[in-house]
Chain A
Amino acid sequence: MSNTTPSPVGDIVALEGVTKRFPGIVANDSIDLSIRPGEVHVLLGENGAGKSTLIGMLSGLQQPDEGRILVDGKPTPITSPRQALALGIGTVFQHMMLVPTLTVAENLLLGGPWWQRPRTEELEARVAEISKSLGIVVKLNARVSELSLGEQQQVEIVRAMVRNSRLLILDESTSMLTPQGIEELGALMRRLVEQGLAIVFITHKLKEAAAFGDRISVLKLGRKVGEIPPERFRALGEQEIISEIVELMFGKQKDDPEAAERSVASVHTEAAPLLQVVDLEVAPTDNAPGLSSISFDIRPGEILGIAGIDGNGQKQLAEALAGQRTATSGSVRLEGTAIEKLSVGERSRRGLRYLTDDRLGEGTVGTFPVSINFFLKQVGAAPFWRNGVEQRAEIDRRAGELVREYDVRTPSLKTPVARLSGGNIQKVLLARELADGAKVVIFNKPTYGLDLANTLASRQRIRDAAQRGLAVLLISTDLEELLSMCNRIAVMANGSLVGTVDNADDARTRVGRLMIGLAA
């Protein structure tokens, strides 16, 4: 990639090999980034690509585990938001950080030394100067709750300017704005960089990236997969930029070792489907899209992939199938028996297993030992419990077997599962869902945040499961993964399946076209 040797000259802030891990996942994997004055640097990536973590480290909320951050060419740990501000790094977060009951002036004065009287006159002069140069109007005496979201954002930007920021980070700033508000923000960013500021603009919308950026870095699953520098950026037209980004985000990567092991087993097409879903509907909620008329079936030994940009209802589909989310209508049949009215536990007992993508949030109880987490979905079942009493010896014996069989690297069976690495937590989940009577398994982003070895191991487990005659639903945002494993790939957008593609030679293009809203 173009900036593996970033020239420190001119960088306000540079990241060198920055890695950040959270329990269970690698959020940022040795990321290099150079941020220069006079440039809008667009960070592009899907949800979970690691954008927010990167911002967290730049704004002092989090510390990198490896690598370093250079400010003006000098390695500088940014230990707190206060220090980030002092270094001239101002952040406008995705969610508004203004106090709605206070006036704009009061909000701008927050954070001053508590022993001094607020310097109102000084502020007024400063704001007048800034807003004049940017061509915006800031109503200092208006209550924040009376302002539109666009105006609130301008206030946040002005606040960063009042504090003499040299680098302004805008985190998903367009997500709550009207189209006109987005245009205005774009123009404002242009004026800001003309004054010599550096801007980091985070978005997952391709059009905005192409319209407002000078330099684009694409993040994917915690890794930086590519960068378009300003020279190239200016040379390309908008459509060319977008197609290049699509290629970076979904395309085949040259250094992708797992791409080689592409082998898809054939399926007996005459076999009766194990899982049949007809017209499944789920009502949308405040923070999740609904599902509409989802229909598909999966035969034994078949892997059906669900592709799509994250957040288009994949999780809702998995939860509705597992019984964790109520479906408003539609039917789900397991081996011909309707199960849509059954509870989560009953579906699981009948062989429908859901391997969640939220390994620590709902997949495991982090403080409980590894051994108990193997049996979380079987609490009370013989032989591990008899008459409701825990059989420690039996649990430890079976847990020991599973640890060996699934190669879980743990100091002991008593270790709290949250202390394990993401890959090993995933092995615990795989062991739990695949063992004893599984018939249909839903995998939701099974390799998300895992390192290469664990990714390959998890994929092999899934292939083996299908080989054993299980029906597999594989939800993933990684097109490469789907292409290397699935028999068929369905594409999900806005809560419905927009098309299903047989995994043949042209599958990549056809799925890619479906994903960006074109007919296959």
Chain B
Amino acid sequence: MSIDTAPTAGATALDATSSVGTRRDVLRRLLMTLGPILVALVIAGCILLAVGVDPLAYYGYVLEKGLFSPLGIQQTLTRMAPLLFLAAGLIVAFRAGMWNLGGDGQFLLGAVTAAASAPMFVEVMPAWLALFCAFVVATLVAMVWSLVPALLRAYQGVNEIITTLMMTFLGTSLANVLVKLLFRDPGTTVPQTRTLPVEDRLPRLFDTTITSGLLFGLAAIIIVHLVMTRTAFGLRLRVVGANPRAAVHAGLGVPGLTIAVFAISAGLAGLAGAVDIIGVQGNVRADWNPAYGLAVIPAVFLARMNGFAAIGFVFLLSVLSIGGESAARRLGVPNHFTLVLVSIVLIVLALAEYVDHRYNQSRKA
């Protein structure tokens, strides 16, 4: 078409203009992301007004607790640790075009294994090695748990959205059963695992209550981002995700890669569970399920599976969830209003995307 007329020698010379184009792209992308968030905040504010709560007070409390109070910001940063691991796992899966929605099951099984194994390891080996072993065991268990959907998808083409969602129900129940029957701490009346002594947990950063798990989480997501964008392995996964038929045509071992993606994604989810237990909670109570896995999905989508952007959105999510819990308590709004807020953001974002797409189309026509 029209490109045919461009001189070939200009191929490299035109690079400069394309970088200007990308800067405008980034700006537009930023506007397309932040604009809808603001609109969503306004809509959520209207809902708050409708139920008789002052939206400004609500948002004020959210910011005050989640961001500006010293204790709150420490809690926010601590909450980020497991969320970052989960986001890293989702980035791997989503970029490879596999929708691992079983994060919660994998997370809880990782958490329970870590909670059960860490106190035992601590008794027989130095603390750092014990924690390391607990991490490894949690990762392996989550990986094994992902084998069923992975094999079904790789060799039978069974839709992984359905299998991972079903496995997450089984996983949560299994985690519960394990806490109540197998790993139950005989010393307490409430069903829970043995508690890891505070001094054996992951060290805190400096003089704060922030867990060092945050650093591991940041490292994990940055490593995942670099692997996905800069390495041959990451490129193979992205080819599978972007065009599975091209992957077959190019001679990639798609079934093997599929299993690897599930293992990495679930392993990171298991690590998220382990880091939350070994760093913060110390034990797992029966029926404990924070449902971080599902909460992180929107953040990863908003970040468009970019690792660095995901860090930002995970931070936002942490602020909202820590601040939201506090604001909800003070204003009598249900705790789940944070979820309402996040979902409104997603819907507005999807609408913005649609409008933008239509606008581009009509401009072309």
Contact = CB atoms under 8 A, between A and B. Distances in A.
Nearest to B16: A412
25 contacts: A324-B249, A345-B250, A345-B251, A348-B251, A361-B246, A362-B245, A368-B238, A368-B242, A372-B235, A380-B232, A385-B232, A389-B231, A390-B230, A403-B11, A407-B8, A409-B3, A409-B5, A409-B8, A410-B11, A411-B11, A412-B14, A414-B15, A414-B18, A419-B3, A424-B4
Given A362-B246, A364-B243, 7 more contacts: A322-B249, A344-B250, A345-B253, A356-B249, A366-B243, A376-B250, A420-B3
A107 interface: no
Interface string A348-367: 10000010101001111111
A411 B14 contact: yes
B248 interface: yes
B236 interface: yes
A400 B11 contact: yes
Contact of A345 (B5, B6, B252): B252
Interface string B9-37: 00110110010000000000000000000
A463 to B, nearest CB: 22
Instruction: Give 10 nearest A-B pairs by CB, closest first.
Output: A345-B251, A380-B232, A344-B251, A362-B245, A362-B249, A385-B232, A421-B1, A365-B243, A376-B250, A365-B242
Interface in A369-410: 372, 376-377, 379-380, 385, 388-390, 400, 403-404, 407-410
A343 B243 contact: no
Interface residues of B, number: 30
B245 A409 contact: no
A191 interface: no
A380 B232 CA distance: 5
B251 A377 contact: yes
Contacts of B3: 409-411, 419-421, 424
Contacts of B11: 400, 403-404, 410-413
B237 to A, nearest CB: 10
A143 interface: no
A361 B12 CA distance: 28
A362 B248 contact: yes
A116 to B, nearest CB: 30
Interface of A: 21, 63, 322-324, 343-348, 354, 356, 358, 361-368, 372, 376-377, 379-380, 385, 388-390, 400, 403-404, 407-415, 419-421, 423-424
Contacts of A404: 8, 11
A371 to B, nearest CB: 10
Nearest to A349: B251
Contacts of B266: none
Contacts of A410: 3, 6, 11
Given A345-B252, A421-B1, A388 B8 contact: no
B8 A403 contact: yes
B18 A412 contact: yes
A346 B252 CA distance: 10
Interface string B221-251: 0000000001111011011001101101111
Contacts, number: 111
Nearest to B245: A362
B94 to A, nearest CB: 14
Q: Which of B11, B12, B230, B245 has the most CB of A within 10 A?
A: B11
Contacts of B243: 361-362, 364-366
Contacts of B231: 385, 388-390
B4 A421 contact: yes
A377 B4 CA distance: 26
Contacts of A345: 250-253
A411 B15 CA distance: 8
Given A345-B251, A403-B11, A363 B230 contact: no
A363 B239 contact: no
B256 to A, nearest CB: 11
A344 B249 contact: yes
Contacts of A322: 249
Contact of A344 (B18, B236, B242, B248): B248
Nearest to B365: A63
Contacts of A324: 248-249
A372, A380, A400, most chain B CB atoms within 10 A: A380
B222 to A, nearest CB: 15
A414 B243 CA distance: 18
Nearest to B235: A379
Contact of A412 (B5, B12, B252): B12
B8 A379 contact: no
Contact of A411 (B18, B232, B245): B18
Nearest to B6: A409
